[in-house]
Structure 1
Amino acid sequence: MKSDVELAKELHDFQIKWKCLVVLDDIWTTTTWDLLKDAFPTTQGDTLHSKILLTTRKRNVALHVDQHGFLHKPQFLNDKESLELFQKKYFPTRTDLPSNSNDDDERKTDLAKVMLEKCGGLPLAIIVLAGLLSKIHTIYEWELMKTSVLKCMDQDEQHDDDSEYRSVLWVLGLSYTELPPQLKPCFLYLARYPEDATIRVRELCLVLMAEGFISPKRNSAKTTEEVAYDWLCELVERSMIQVKEMSSIGRIKSFCIHDLMRHVCITKAQDEMFLHFIDLRNKEVEENIETTKARRVSIYDDNVVDRNARFPGMVQNMNDSLRYFSVEGPSMEFGEGVFGHVCNHFLMLRVLIIDDMNGTLELPEEIGNLIHLRLFSVPLRKIKEIPSCFGNFRCLQTLRVLASNSILPESMWKLEQLRHLYFSLASNVPIGKFLRSTKSRNIQTLVGICAKDLVQSDFQYLNNLKKLKIYVDPSSVTLFNTPQTLTFTCLLSLQVNNYFDTIDVVPLILSCPRIYKLTLNSGIERLPEINQFSRNLMKLKLSKLNLKNDPMPTLEKLPELRVLVISNHSFVGNEMVCSRGGFHRLESLEFIGLIDLREWKVEENALPRLGYLRIRECRGLRSVPDGLRNIVTLKEIKISYMPKKFKERMEEGGDDFDKVKHVPSRVFFECDTVSISSIAYQMCSLNRDILYKCIRGLRRVPDGVRNIVTLNEMVISNMPKTFKERMEEGGEDFYKVKHVASRIERRG
């Protein structure tokens, strides 16, 4: 693996040789630039073909980088623009109707103008203030808020640092102060995520529930999961977090937090000793790690192997009363000694998360000491046996064990609080005995189970099951042949996997009459008829179906379908047609790896609401359909790993440009190369070998190979020396293949 100095020189020389535009976003300190500058040709002796665009909030950083460079400072909003933005953000989020009194409305406008003056024309401060005021209704409450705003601002003016952004910081701090008590822990938990992280709503809700922060109101029909989701939605309404992705059924799937809001979050979490976040990527922070009294610790690392030596010492210096402990990062070494310390000292733990761990880990018997655990997530990919002391986790709600063939002790199936079980998608973990017990009544999530050894009665108690990902072989399909006696009435999401056989999925689909999301990863004997699909279906993902007949005449009639993904040889015919009036609610359509597809037709009035189209690795497709010109709702087209001619036809002056020129965003990626990512995707259950032979243009092993946990052997034949070196220990691709027991090189 190359050193930092070697990488910096390589980047430096590349920018001298080629004309590049380099974007460095959000540089906070001069020290950060000094650590990076050797990688960029900025000195007078360099021949400057390349340009650097750097963003920072601090003028002194920009001047430190280049005193003679072009300095652009975005203009702040004036009073009129500030009020317009405030009104735009305030009214859509209000829970009350406008006042019946014109005097009240005028008074609120006057108060808003006073507070907006303190925002300094900064959009983030105005948006957060609007979210803050949207939760209060009376003139008296607005007067109190104005007093708080002026008081906070007066106190903050005593500090000279970050003066330009003082108005943001005080309003962000005030937005936290004004949170209801139950929402404060939800917000502070966001301090555990690294900067710019995409935060999945479901995962955060599971952690909040495990900590016991979520409690439904008395006599409420809502579950704890629904209450947790509602609380996160309130943070969105207050503009404290930003929605990043919506699900097909209109729920928030993931979100992010602005870096300034995250700064406030981390500061508050540390001041209140709620949570301590240790980012080992930051050398300055790492050198100042001290014993923390916080009862929650999150450690993040990113390929910084030389700092693993400090990790055991950090753990030993932590508070023995920890309730939450997470370690994330691809280079973390979580050895048995560290795990033993966790099991013997952190006896109050409720949440233990270890992700992307290097090496293997043997679970000690002492893990049974953690009797308060409610969420346990460890990637035990090479563990063959889990200790019987797992039965001590009587409070356990969520178990995520990414092992393929682990033997789970019978004592585990006595855990009455289990709600969410996650195994590897290629798992063969036997859980029939648990399913047929009354202890399974609370189960809401089953991911990675195999139907091979199950009987129909195993499902009789799963009355609350909402999410199911199951491996089904031809013999186990008969489990679902009598849907009148086996019906998952609460199931909302179903994924069916089979990587080798062709199965009949119709009986299983008939057993799930209410699902909103369906994923099929298997060859199927026949596509279900329109009346056999759930009428609620909003998202459909099809992979490896090997259908010879065009599926569109059936799929376009699904009344609620919003998202459709057809990938990896799901259709092996040559022509696909979206007929007149079809897919009347579809918003997103993706074709991936349909190598036999030659022609796609879109008739008039088909796809009237389509907003997003993606075409990837459909290399036989000659052109986009003429009917795209009539889809006025289309906002983005992404084309990747397609022939160069296909791309050129869509560019200005090309034969297909008129069909797509109305689309605001047209993105092309790697349209002169062939991707093999789909190969790795199709081999996610591979347990024999991968043979790379005579693909001499291939630069690297796909990243997805690291997730093929069943892979035992790789044979590399007649490949370039550099390809082999990347896979050897110390090479750039070693982490992708180090779990493979046998890696063989052959010549010729």
Structure 2
Amino acid sequence: MVTRCKGLPLAISALGGILKGKHSLREWERINEDVSFHVARGGGVTNDDEYYTVRQILGLSYGNLPSRLQHCFLCFANYKEDEIIDTEELYIIWMAEGLISVEDRAQGEMMLEVAERYLDELAHRSLVTVKVHDYANDSRSKYKECVVHDLIQDLCWSKVKEQGVMHVIDLERKLDIGSKAGIVRRLCVRSHDANREVLQPYDPHVLAQIRSLFIWNDLDDDPPLWPNHIFTLEKFKLLRVFTACRYCKLSKKDVRSLSKLVYLKYLSLQDCELDILPASIGKLRNLETLDVRTQGVCLSIPNVLRHLALRSVENTYLDGEMVLLDHKE
């Protein structure tokens, strides 16, 4: 098997992750057969591609993941190649999307710890690179950041396209992958000048089924249009996760448009220019995480947030600091 990896470190490391925990000869023989099959079949990749073998072994590594970990891995399609990903933020998104199984939780274990075990497994499979905190007690989680290799990102996007449950639009890099029809659960848009034409191909029924919506403004020079000016957020009736990053000069009316997303569990307005959070945010009775780390302005928080916190919110991010609110108090 190592010979078939042609001495390529990433392929060998991924192979080691597949073999981890396999102790019987029959299990090794089966994996050896799988490796032979994957390397031989090509899968649309030409043999003169210097990364051909690595791609095939990584594809095998993904294929050997349990279903729940495959869904977690596909979340990396939200990010760019080699983008630094905050692990705790990733865990919370996984939890909000319902990807962390309660059945995997041991007695006395927090869901955040289950999510960390998931990331551990992906790291052992060489599908993500993790960085630990500088100090052991620096955070609730062991890992500080993670990053996905460009070849692994390509694998992730190919699986997104294959399964059709997500759509990724990056207008800056002219990237458009995934499905515009059928069962689309996650939509990711990266652009500083997104407009109504971006979502014109989507059937309204498809938009109504989306559970997670990520909209990033990757440029800082021109203020983009707030999403509600591009499309009516009310159409996303079942939305659980909403991220809008780097939007300038948001008004109370802009943010108030979010109050009708009653199933929302995760709301991030990180690096947006916002000076007041409207009291209507208290209508989000299922909200568990609120991220309003804004662009160096004094943010006014309504008293209703305290009542919301007592009821459901577990994590609130304010001005770069994290305040943990225990709704049981």
- TM class by shorter-chain length? 0.7 to 0.9
Question: What per-residue deviation string (whole Å, max 9, x for no partner) do you get for residues 332-355 of structure 1?
Answer: 755356357342111111111111
Deviation for aligned residue 1:299: 2.1
Question: What per-residue deviation string (whole Å, max 9, x for no partner) do you get for residues 698-742 of structure 1?
Answer: xxxxxxxxxxxxxxxxxxxxxxxxxxxxxxxxxxxxxxxxxxxxx
SS of equivalent to 1:117: coil
Task: Name the counterpart of 2:240.
Answer: 350
Task: Name the counterpart of 1:413.
Answer: 307
SS of equivalent to 1:297: strand
Contact 1:194–1:279 (8 Å) recurs in 2: no
Deviation for aligned residue 1:315: 3.5
SS of equivalent to 1:353: strand
Of the structure 1 ranges 393-402 and 236-245, higher mean CA displacement relative to structure 2 is found in 236-245
Task: Name the counterpart of 1:215.
Answer: 101
In 2, Cα distance between equivalents of 1:312 and 1:135: 50
Task: Name the counterpart of 1:323.
Answer: 211
SS of equivalent to 1:357: coil
Question: What per-residue deviation string (whole Å, max 9, x for no partner) do you get for residues 170-195 of structure 1?
Answer: 10000000001221111111111111
In 1, Cα distance between equivalents of 2:273 and 2:113: 32
In 2, Cα distance between equivalents of 1:281 and 1:230: 34
Which of residues 123, 138, 156 in structure 1 aligns to 2:42?
156
Question: What per-residue deviation string (whole Å, max 9, x for no partner) do you get for residues 141-181 of structure 1?
Answer: 11111121122222217742653322111100000000012
Question: Residues 198 and 315 of structure 1: is their aligned pair in 2 closer, same or farther, counting only changes over 3 Å?
Answer: same
Q: How many residues align?
A: 311
Question: What per-residue deviation string (whole Å, max 9, x for no partner) do you get for residues 252-289 of structure 1?
Answer: 21121111111101111221123322222214x36x99
Task: Name the counterpart of 1:265.
Answer: 156
Provide TM-score, normalisation by structure 1. 0.39
AA paired with 1:324? S
Q: Which has the higher helix share?
A: 2
Task: Name the counterpart of 2:52.
Answer: 166
Work out which structure has the larger RCO, using CA pairs closer than 8 Å and 6 or more positions apart in sequence: 2
1:700-719 aligned within 5 A: none
Task: Name the counterpart of 1:92.
Answer: none
AA paired with 1:226? E
Question: Residues 311 and 150 of structure 1: is their aligned pair in 2 closer, same or farther, counting only changes over 3 Å?
Answer: same
Task: Name the counterpart of 1:506.
Answer: none
1:11-410 aligned within 5 A: 115-156=1-42, 159-160=45-46, 163-216=49-102, 217=104, 220-249=107-136, 251-283=142-174, 285=175, 291=180, 293=182, 294-301=184-191, 308=193, 310-318=194-202, 319-320=206-207, 321-328=209-216, 329-331=218-220, 333-336=223-226, 338=228, 341-361=231-251, 362-363=253-254, 365-379=256-270, 380-388=272-280, 390-402=281-293, 404-408=298-302, 410=304
Contact 1:353–1:376 (8 Å) recurs in 2: yes
Contact 1:130–1:238 (8 Å) recurs in 2: yes
Contact 1:363–1:386 (8 Å) recurs in 2: no
Contact 2:185–2:212 (8 Å) recurs in 1: yes
In 2, Cα distance between equivalents of 1:299 and 1:155: 34
1:602-617 aligned within 5 A: none
Of the structure 1 ranges 328-337 and 190-199, higher mean CA displacement relative to structure 2 is found in 328-337
Contact 1:236–1:243 (8 Å) recurs in 2: yes
AA paired with 1:357? Y
In 2, Cα distance between equivalents of 1:292 and 1:124: 35
In 1, Cα distance between equivalents of 2:188 and 2:250: 21
SS of equivalent to 2:326: helix
Contact 1:192–1:275 (8 Å) recurs in 2: no
Question: Residues 209 and 296 of structure 1: is their aligned pair in 2 closer, same or farther, counting only changes over 3 Å?
Answer: same
Contact 2:161–2:179 (8 Å) recurs in 1: no
Contact 1:207–1:375 (8 Å) recurs in 2: yes
Question: What per-residue deviation string (whole Å, max 9, x for no partner) do you get for residues 621-643 of structure 1?
Answer: xxxxxxxxxxxxxxxxxxxxxxx
In 2, Cα distance between equivalents of 1:168 and 1:129: 10
Question: Residues 279 and 314 of structure 1: is their aligned pair in 2 closer, same or farther, counting only changes over 3 Å?
Answer: same
Which portions of structure 1, spanning 4 or more consecutive aligned residues, are displaced by more than 6 angstroms? none
Q: Which has the larger radius of gyration?
A: 1
Contact 1:274–1:296 (8 Å) recurs in 2: yes
AA paired with 2:264? L
In 1, Cα distance between equivalents of 2:32 and 2:223: 51
SS of equivalent to 2:172: coil
Question: Residues 195 and 426 of structure 1: is their aligned pair in 2 closer, same or farther, counting only changes over 3 Å?
Answer: closer
1:528-547 aligned within 5 A: none
Question: Can you give the 5+ residue segments of structure 2 that lack an aligned partner in the other structure?
Answer: none
Question: Residues 128 and 364 of structure 1: is their aligned pair in 2 closer, same or farther, counting only changes over 3 Å?
Answer: closer
SS of equivalent to 2:67: coil
Contact 2:234–2:260 (8 Å) recurs in 1: yes
In 2, Cα distance between equivalents of 1:369 and 1:197: 32
Contact 1:391–1:412 (8 Å) recurs in 2: no
Contact 1:198–1:244 (8 Å) recurs in 2: no
Contact 1:400–1:423 (8 Å) recurs in 2: yes
In 2, Cα distance between equivalents of 1:333 and 1:241: 33
Question: Residues 340 and 124 of structure 1: is their aligned pair in 2 closer, same or farther, counting only changes over 3 Å?
Answer: closer
Overall identity of the aligned pairs, in %: 28
Question: What per-residue deviation string (whole Å, max 9, x for no partner) do you get for residues 190-234 of structure 1?
Answer: 111111101111110010011111134366210001110111011
SS of equivalent to 2:59: helix
Question: What per-residue deviation string (whole Å, max 9, x for no partner) do you get for residues 650-698 of structure 1?
Answer: xxxxxxxxxxxxxxxxxxxxxxxxxxxxxxxxxxxxxxxxxxxxxxxxx
Provide TM-score, normalisation by structure 2. 0.83
